[in-house]
Amino acid sequence: MPHKSACLAIFAALCMLPSPRLHADELVLKGGTRLQGTFEGFKNDRISFAPREGQKVQTPLMRVDSLAVEPAAKVTVKPRGGKKLEDVKLAAYTNHVFAIEQGGRVVRLPSASVSMIEPELDFSRAMAMQAETQARAAPDEDVPVETLVQTGIVTVVQFHMKNVIASVRQGNYVQGLADQSHGKIKLAVVTLGDFSAPMAIRNQIQAVPQFWFYNKSGRLAGKLVGRFEESEIDRMLRDAKK
């Protein structure tokens, strides 16, 4: 049974999770370093975390101050010497305790009793985090596309309209690939109100979805416009990595 102060700390951590309008996981390390991105798992007393910028982090739990998971992630939890917990969600970690949502209540598991936490496929969470990515995207103003490109990795610039289903779907696909790339692919989303927006006029955008692929040197490697398959996205990414 966790100490009373640990329980209070868990409740405090849950209360401090980002509001429903903001969807991002946050890892806080000892010393105050804060990383926002995606929780990718817990194993061998290490937390795997993919920041929005940079490469994936695998850090010992002893270096972690807290973890907030928003929205809570569907996970499989394997206790040490116990039966797997399925159909549960990870909400937070602090003071050596994981906060797990199960059946409408919060279960507190001391980290010493947990062998592994593995995220499951969760389309609703992916959609929520993609919506947050788009909310953080470049504003609908006239700025050079080159300012969105990051050298050293593959950058994909998406010209997007929220009411275009194909753009949402293909954007989710590219974001998923970026999340799995360990920081080697970045998606920058330019959300347009319509084709008269300054960014649309400057870049002659007359159709969405539209993706521009930049290689590690920051040079444009190719574009996909209008109707295309996910296999074509995969091909363009391979070309950009060369």
Q: What is the pLDDT of residues 143-167, one digit of tens each?
A: 788 888 988 999 999 999 888 888 8
Phi, psi of 37 (to 5 degrees): 170, -125
pLDDT higher than 70, residue 126: no
Q: What is the pLDDT of residue 75?
A: 93
Integer Cα distance of 207 and 227 in angstroms: 9
Q: What is the pLDDT of residue 51?
A: 84
Integer Cα distance of 24 and 72 in angstroms: 10
Confidence of residue 38 (pLDDT cuts 50, 70, 90): confident
pLDDT higher than 80, residue 57: yes
pLDDT higher than 70, residue 52: yes
Domain positions in the chain: 4-120, 137-241
**Contact at 8 Å (CB) between 150 and 186?**
yes
pLDDT higher than 60, residue 19: no
Question: Taking the mean position of all CA atoms in its chain, how far away is CA 32?
Answer: 21
pLDDT higher than 70, residue 137: no
228, exposed or middle or buried, with CB in 10 Å at 0-12, 13-18, 19+? middle
Q: Specify the CATH number of the domain 137-241.
A: 3.40.30.10
pLDDT higher than 80, residue 16: no
Question: Looking at 7-16, 26-35, 54-63, 180-189, which range is the least confident one?
Answer: 7-16
Q: What is the pLDDT of residue 158?
A: 94
Integer Cα distance of 139 and 189 in angstroms: 9
Confidence of residue 99 (pLDDT cuts 50, 70, 90): very high
Question: Does 22 or 53 have the greater pLDDT score?
Answer: 53
For residue 112, which of 97, 99, 92 has the smallest C-alpha distance?
Answer: 97
pLDDT higher than 90, residue 64: yes
**Which position has the token pair 């640990």?**
6
The counts of H helices and E strands in the chain are 5, 13
Question: Looking at 23-37, 39-53, 180-194, which range is the least confident one?
Answer: 23-37
Residue type, 108: R
Give the residue-averaged pLDDT of 1-30: 51
Integer Cα distance of 185 and 27 in angstroms: 21
